[in-house]
Amino acid sequence: MQLRDRIAVVTGAGSGIGRAISHRFAEAGATVIAADLDPQAAEATALLAPDRILPYQVDVRAETSVRALMDSVLARFGRIDILVNNAGIGTTKDIVETELEEWEQVFAVNVRGVFLCCKYALPSMLARRSGVIINIGSVAGLIGIPKRAAYCASKGAVVTLTKQIAIAYVKDGIRCNCICPGTVDTPWVERLVAREPDPLAARRALEARQPMGRLVRPEEVAAAALYLASDEAAAVTGSILVVDGGWLAQ
Ligand SMILES: NC(=O)c1ccc[n+]([C@@H]2O[C@H](COP(=O)([O-])OP(=O)(O)OC[C@H]3O[C@@H](n4cnc5c(N)ncnc54)[C@H](O)[C@@H]3O)[C@@H](O)[C@H]2O)c1
């Protein structure tokens, strides 16, 4: 029970990686606030461990919504021990094809969302001189990938913001780290390949991109998050933990 009695907020908890992290944290003894734009998805995640996972609807793009989330967690539990900024969206375009509106939307969720969640969770962490933030970046935040202009740029921002938070609050008992997954087998990737003319071939291509020849499982990202959230990682801050089946090792 590495996270016994910890209070954890996970955004984008209704699907894929966020759901796996919520489940793993609950198994490790945490109480998890599973926050998602889609309330039914958050509720489905909560069903995995009804005693420990509480569903919550949030739009990480909206300041009032994020503030209400953090305020209600603090009102009920008195603290936020762990914040996982996992909510994210993507696009599959290069610069020229990307409409300004689409660019802004990707940044609104992937970057503004991380900023707002940190802004409204950090004061209570600072007051207690204790807190862990885990941002879900991506391999796309570390290298250029064709057809991912807005996504790469937004995840690059998440990687750098992680280091800035880590260094800004290193003397205040706060740790902030980033997990950069490769391609993970989630509904997101199912939607991506379903749009291709030959979905099976598209999936095989994504698998082949990673030297292990397979997609990462959401549970494998959750295991990395559990480590970073736990006291085992007490000396780890500002780090980028790549979970990518060897993609970046080539
Ligand atoms: N799947 C991958 O291959 C992969 C790889 C690297 C990084 N990531 C990152 O991991 C995170 C999760 O990805 P996933 O594959 O599980 O995606 P997913 O689409 O399966 O789940 C994302 C969840 O975020 C929620 N969400 C979207 N916008 C939101 C908002 N404004 N406010 C609150 N919640 C919102 C969605 O409702 C959904 O439940 C994302 O940040 C993504 O960029 C995914």
Query: pLDDT of 43-100, one tens digit each?
Result: 999 999 999 999 999 999 999 999 999 999 999 999 999 999 999 999 999 999 999 9
Distance 89 CA to ligand 1 centre (A): 6
Q: Which atom of ligand 1 is the closest one to the Cα of 59?
A: 32
pLDDT tens digits, residue range 7-38? 999 999 999 999 999 999 999 999 999 999 99
Query: Among 19, 22, 36, which is best to mutate for testing ligand 1, by the most ligand atoms less than 8 A from CB?
Result: 36
At the fourth CATH level, the homologous superfamily of domain 7-181+218-242 is NAD(P)-binding Rossmann-like Domain (3.40.50.720)
CB atoms within 10 A of CB 40: 11
Contact 89 CB / ligand 1 (< 6 Å): yes
Give the domain ranges of the chain.
7-181+218-242, 184-215
Question: Does pTM top 0.95 for this prediction?
Answer: yes
